[in-house]
Structure 1
Amino acid sequence: MAGCWDERLYKNSSVVSLTGFEGEIGKLTAYYAYPEATTTEMKTVIITGNGVSPRDVRQDAELNVEQTMDLSVLSTILISEKTAEDDIYKYLDGYFRDANSPITSKLAIIQGDLKPFFEVSEDKQSTAGEYYDRFITSLEENSMVIPYTLQTASTIIFEDAQDLALPYLKMGEEKHPKAEGMALFSGRSFTGKTLTIDEGVLLNILNDSLGFATRISYLYEDSPVTVRINKSKRKLNISENKIEIPLKLEFILSEFPDDNLDKTSVKKELEQFLEKEIEKDMKEVIKKLQEANCDAIGLGRSVRAFHPEWFKKDWSEHFSTLDISPKVDVEIVKTGILE
């Protein structure tokens, strides 16, 4: 028998769970966070590396650790917004060339300096990467960001018919990471434009990539109304310069103090109100996407597949010139626990 010829023991390595980049190629800084056990506690160690490329900064960081850094269980990669304005693949290429690199790592774009996002993890009981992995996963489950891993994001990076939209985080006033929305990409570069969290929910509906729970809230005649999507059905009506997106949304009512929904007229008025507001907000989301030349909805894929004669090689720019209109049809199918 061959035995454990490829055995790699964690005790012999500094197992990095979180990494991040800021700066630019030629003058790059990277941070690495890994857990270290003492006789009394588990703490997070943060190592900084400087160099001209992602592989060079890792080698520089290796000079500051007593054991070789192991990135085989890397959970999250954070990238500064200024760095992401360059070709983002330059900073991810090395992970695809190393057989030990995981392809399930989460990605996020960071507002401001990167170091505070690493320092905040020092007080967490879990590893730094696991903390951000759970943080981003919770956003995905609530349909606030589109779910991407290193692998799925790379397929979009090389796709000429769809663009990336990654989680956008900032440091809150209480020195705690906060989800700010979604960072919009055109091709491989961050455009500097973002969507809010509420707009991210609408983008997930348009993208047909809903998480476990999708909630939308409005103020209806001075009364709060919150609905949760029970079922969503999206179609695309494509012509040469126009794309219509009919959406059939079934809602469960989560909050509505006014009630009186046993009256058909009240229920119908509420449905019409939701249709009007959601359609209006979706148009604003599409407007922002077009201003950023960011087809995060993936309309280009459908155009290329079913109407190749209308597909343009410079799709991101062509996308911004199209007449794109959502058409929302709302039905409230459940108003409470018993109904």
Structure 2
Amino acid sequence: MKKVKRIFVLIILLSLTGCWDENLLKDSALVLSIGYDLTMDNKIKTTSAIRTSKLMAGGQSESVNYIVEEKGHTLREARLEVDKQIPGVYSPNKLRVILISEKTAKKDLYPYFDVFFRDPRSSLAAKVAVVKGQASDIIKVKKLKENLISEALIELIRSAEEHMIVPVQNQQTIRTSMFDEGEDFTLPYLEQLDKEKIKVTGIALFHKRSYTGKTLKGNKPIILLMAKGDKKKDIKLTENLESNKDHDVKNFVSFSVIKTKRKMKIKMVKGKPEAVLNMKLFIEINEYPKGSLLGQKEEAELNKKIARRIEGQANEVVSTLKTANCDAFGIARYLIADHNKEWKRLNWEKVYPEIPFKIHVKVETVKRGIIF
């Protein structure tokens, strides 16, 4: 009986022991956003926005950003340098945004994420974006329209995702893409227009694990994502139906894409791949200053004009992707799955930019507004 009691006490004692790897919040310096830039001597400069509290009058506290900048041969070395000048331990487990300068992103991207992938406490849900100019310049803004920079950046990117201006990406998804030979990935592209304005202006195109220097802007990111089959509730476009140079308000139409149907077909012709993309858009007219759409003839003509505009821009998107050697459509994946023998014989680096790519777009108006 005594032996049973001793075993029971031992089990209780073991259950009360603490975690060997616990990390207390009070001992951590929470990093919410980081910017990466390459220095002239080819080191990595990290600019971190660390959240802390500032004591105000009346015993109240206010959240503020403490900006720390250091450099090293690797991210771990730079992080150790940061630890020497901050209270608490550098903690990226609440990281929300990673900004990478164009110059840095043109190198192999993986080394800038290896330190996160090896640490089980890292937040792999952090958003990743490419920045025109220096990433540190944006982190040092500290506040944007009364919001701390980390919160402002995450809201900018999420809003762009909701409007299908950029793809939904984070550290976890791009890690998968980095090792996927069947498809290249894209990332949000940010620009600092002035001291008080930062804007998501498009998407950066990657080939394998490096930024190509090419971007898609305007409506083209939306066209690409629709053509890939991505769908959000809030897809809104404004198109000039006549000449891009003629900015008369009557030449424009604004509409929402309610539903899309698309089909990508890859076939081999004489040992070489060809791609055909068929898209059908079901739209709601939001604004058409030119006038009424009561007649079927007027509606059919409008649908044709919109289809031609979308088709033209889709072809421009494909041209840019080929120039960048960015297989954002994942054509290689189709070939690997359906034409594996032929795929193994192809020199994909040379073949991809030469692939014939046919695009056919149809538009159907399903809503024209209340009075029409």
Partner of 1:28 in structure 2? 44
Does residue 121 of structure 2 align to residue 100 of structure 1?
yes
Give, in angstroms, the shift of residue 220 of structure 1.
3.3
Please state whether the residue corresponding to 1:235 is helix, strand or coil.
strand
Please state whether the residue corresponding to 1:172 is helix, strand or coil.
strand
Give, in angstroms, the shift of residue 104 of structure 1.
0.8
Does residue 259 of structure 2 align to residue 231 of structure 1?
yes
Partner of 1:321 in structure 2? 354
Equivalent AA in structure 2 for residue 293 of structure 1? N
Match of 1:275 among 297, 307, 311: 307
Q: Is 2:36–2:136's contact at 8 Å kept on the other side of the alignment? A: no
Q: Is 2:205–2:214's contact at 8 Å kept on the other side of the alignment? A: yes
Return 33-42 or 49-58, whichever deviates more.
33-42
Among all aligned residue pairs of Structure 1 and Structure 2, give the percentage whose two residues are the same amino acid.
30
Provide the rounded CA distance (Å) in 1 between the counterparts of 2:178 and 2:200.
23
Q: Is 1:182–1:197's contact at 8 Å kept on the other side of the alignment? A: no
Please state whether the residue corresponding to 2:140 is helix, strand or coil.
helix
Using a 3 Å threshold, how does the CA distance of structure 1 residues 242 and 129 change in structure 2: closer, same or farther? Answer: same
Match of 1:17 among 32, 35, 40: 32
Q: Is 1:49–1:59's contact at 8 Å kept on the other side of the alignment? A: no
Provide the rounded CA distance (Å) in 2 between the counterparts of 1:187 and 1:223.
40
Using a 3 Å threshold, how does the CA distance of structure 1 residues 255 and 4 change in structure 2: closer, same or farther? Answer: farther
Equivalent AA in structure 2 for residue 61 of structure 1? V
Partner of 2:174 in structure 1? 153
Please state whether the residue corresponding to 1:201 is helix, strand or coil.
helix
Scaled by the length of structure 2, the TM-score of the pair is 0.86
Q: Is 2:31–2:90's contact at 8 Å kept on the other side of the alignment? A: yes
Equivalent AA in structure 2 for residue 38 of structure 1? K
Equivalent AA in structure 2 for residue 239 of structure 1? K
Q: Gapped runs of 5+ residues in structure 1?
A: none
1:115-134 equivalences under 5 Å are 115-122=136-143, 126-134=147-155
1:80-229 equivalences under 5 Å are 80-122=101-143, 126-220=147-241, 222-229=250-257
Using a 3 Å threshold, how does the CA distance of structure 1 residues 16 and 315 change in structure 2: closer, same or farther? Answer: same
Provide the rounded CA distance (Å) in 2 between the counterparts of 1:83 and 1:269.
47
Give, in angstroms, the shift of residue 262 of structure 1.
1.8
Provide the rounded CA distance (Å) in 2 between the counterparts of 1:4 and 1:217.
59
Scaled by the length of structure 1, the TM-score of the pair is 0.94
Give, in angstroms, the shift of residue 2 of structure 1.
3.9
Give, in angstroms, the shift of residue 302 of structure 1.
2.2
Return 63-72 or 284-293, whichever deviates more.
63-72
Give, in angstroms, the shift of residue 139 of structure 1.
0.6
Provide the rounded CA distance (Å) in 1 between the counterparts of 2:98 and 2:325.
25
Provide the rounded CA distance (Å) in 2 between the counterparts of 1:117 and 1:70.
21
Provide the rounded CA distance (Å) in 2 between the counterparts of 1:326 and 1:299.
14
Match of 2:286 among 254, 257, 263: 254
Return 119-128 or 320-329, whichever deviates more.
119-128
Q: Is 1:35–1:127's contact at 8 Å kept on the other side of the alignment? A: no
Q: Is 1:81–1:111's contact at 8 Å kept on the other side of the alignment? A: yes
Provide the rounded CA distance (Å) in 1 between the counterparts of 2:144 and 2:237.
34
Provide the rounded CA distance (Å) in 2 between the counterparts of 1:173 and 1:317.
40
Give, in angstroms, the shift of residue 10 of structure 1.
2.2
Provide the rounded CA distance (Å) in 2 between the counterparts of 1:60 and 1:183.
31
| C-alpha distance after superposition, 1:153-208 (max 9, x if no partner) | 11111111111111111110354211221111111111111111311111111111
Provide the rounded CA distance (Å) in 2 between the counterparts of 1:8 and 1:336.
57
Using a 3 Å threshold, how does the CA distance of structure 1 residues 126 and 171 change in structure 2: closer, same or farther? Answer: closer
**Cα RMSD between the aligned structures?**
1.9
Match of 1:78 among 79, 94, 99: 99
Partner of 2:247 in structure 1? none
Give, in angstroms, the shift of residue 276 of structure 1.
0.8
Equivalent AA in structure 2 for residue 227 of structure 1? F
Partner of 1:48 in structure 2? 69
Using a 3 Å threshold, how does the CA distance of structure 1 residues 294 and 250 change in structure 2: closer, same or farther? Answer: same
Give, in angstroms, the shift of residue 303 of structure 1.
2.5
